[in-house]
Amino acid sequence: MYQFKLPDPGEGLVEAEITQWLVSEGDEVRINDILVEIETAKSLVELPSPVSGRVHKLLASEGQTVDVGAPIIEIDDGSATDAPDDPDEEPKHLVGSGPAPEPTTRRRPVAQPADRPATTAEQPATTTAEQLATTTAEQPATTAVGKVLAKPLVRRLARDLGVALQSIRPTGPGGTVSKSDVEAAAGLGRVPEHANRVPIKGVRKATATNVAESIAKHVHVTEFNTIDVSATKALVEVLRARREFAGLHVSPLLIHAKAVCLAMARHPELNASWDAAAGEIVYHDEVNLGIAAATPRGLLVPVIKGADKLSLVELCRAINDLVVTAREGKLQPADYAGGTFSITNVGVFGIDTGTPIINGDESAILAMGAIKRKPWVVGTGDDERIEPRWVTTLALSFDHQLIDGEQGSQFLADISTILSAPELALLF
């Protein structure tokens, strides 16, 4: 009997939530068949089977938070003993082992074992033949075993809002319960008659922990600079028409990211970390650029590794891939590792600027403000006049423990120079 234990998802995470079982007791599985979907503080991950055999018992319920290393499923693989005690023989990461299987149809969600208590959001569904035969069109669509069809994020939303999926009439494709179905059932948009309590977990818990730790270990200083970026706006239009950028989304974020990488070469002290325990400042040899992203799961900061080594086209493609992956909720723990500097774009929400909080062990972060049409003084001397220009405000927060005001100011000034006159990037 093989006992599969929750593998280490990395990034210092010690637990994960069982979001959805994709097998049930008695099912036959092959190596690399997907067994379960789990949610860590940073991502949704599918766990494949490391062995072939028959599912003997599910050891954890959907919605249950499980510690790394805890057994979650038993598979009868023909062996006479439980899983080996040698940790080297256990899967260490969120991947399968053995050869890749032939393409198979993904299993539909199945009911939880009868001997497991149901969560508050999902009461056990009855599945007798008589009850199935009397199901009306007004009841939610189910699989053959009576399980309501819903994606993991929808199931989690239902649990958080305290809504039983079985009570919802589905309107999604193929009879699935959609996010709007859950929100409607929860009465969102109406004046609540009482307070709704939502557990602090997942991305919200991780974000709260990270920002609190950042405030505790970094001495934040924030500087601002309002600049004319009409030339950057013009450059974006030129790049969009270039053959090299065909099929790519070009935005001012690309020019901001490139400006950060170019300015960092002059100011490597901004690409550093403060190691209080070792009594050292760690200067990094490449810029691993984090891009703060608002995703369906909350605020996440995936990282573009070696961003300073990429050409403008390569950097654009990396940003495009990052945005798509984030929006689809497919970011993995490795996508957040090793960041050395971050950019957050509050301008997409129409906000002029903010005071960003330094991410993780990094030493600085740049906030992009909204780019708006404003009156601006141009020219000098007798040629001085007011014209409508594209204007934005940058905000740079840095750790004053290792970055002096002069260093932070010069770094922000160099970024501003590139954005105001992109042709001057040739000087960097």
Residues of the chain with CATH 4.10.320.10: 118-199
Look at residues 14, 11, 30, 27 and name the one whose alpha carbon lies nearest to residue 66: 14
Query: What is the per-residue pLDDT for 146?
Result: 45
pTM above 0.75, yes or no: no
> Residue 118: pLDDT band by 50, 70, 90 thresholds?
very low
Residues of the chain with CATH 2.40.50.100: 1-116
CA Rg, the chain, in Å? Answer: 26
**Fold adopted by 204-427:** Chloramphenicol Acetyltransferase (3.30.559)
Residues 10-25 pLDDT 10s: 666 788 889 889 999 9
**Residue 133 pLDDT more than 50?**
no
Query: What is the per-residue pLDDT for 42?
Result: 67
Query: Mean pLDDT across the stretch 358-376?
Result: 96
DSSP strand pairing (2-5 vs 71-76)? antiparallel
Cα(271)–Cα(46) distance, rounded to whole angstroms?
34
**SS3 readout for the chain:** CEEEECCCCCCCCCEEEEEEECCCCCCEECCCCEEEEEECCCCEEEEECCCCEEEEEECCCCCCEEECCCEEEEEECCCCCCCCCCHHHCCCCCCCCCCCCCCCCCCCCCCCCCCCCCCCCCCCCCCCHHHHHCCCCCCCCECCCCCECECHHHHHHHHHHCCCHHHCCCCCHHHCECHHHHHHHCCCCCCCCCCCCCCCCHHHHHHHHHHHHHHHHCCEEEEEEEEECHHHHHHHHHHHCCHHHCCCCCCHHHHHHHHHHHHHHHCHHHCEEEECCCCEEEECCCCCEEECEEECCEEECCEECCHHHCCHHHHHHHHHHHHHHHHCCCCCHHHHCCCCEEEEEHHHHCCCCCCCCCCCCCCEEEEECCCEEEEEEECCHHHCEEEEEEEEEEEEEEECCCCCHHHHHHHHHHHHHHHHCHHHHHHC
Reported CATH class of domain 118-199: few secondary structures
Cα(192)–Cα(110) distance, rounded to whole angstroms?
33
**Fold adopted by 1-116:** OB fold (Dihydrolipoamide Acetyltransferase, E2P) (2.40.50)
Cα(308)–Cα(311) distance, rounded to whole angstroms?
8
Residues 271-324 pLDDT 10s: 999 888 899 999 999 999 999 988 777 788 999 999 999 999 999 999 999 988
**Residue 112 pLDDT more than 60?**
no
**Residue 88 pLDDT more than 80?**
no
Query: What is the per-residue pLDDT for 194?
Result: 65
Residues 147-167 pLDDT 10s: 678 887 788 788 778 888 888
Which residues are known to be catalytic?
A: 400
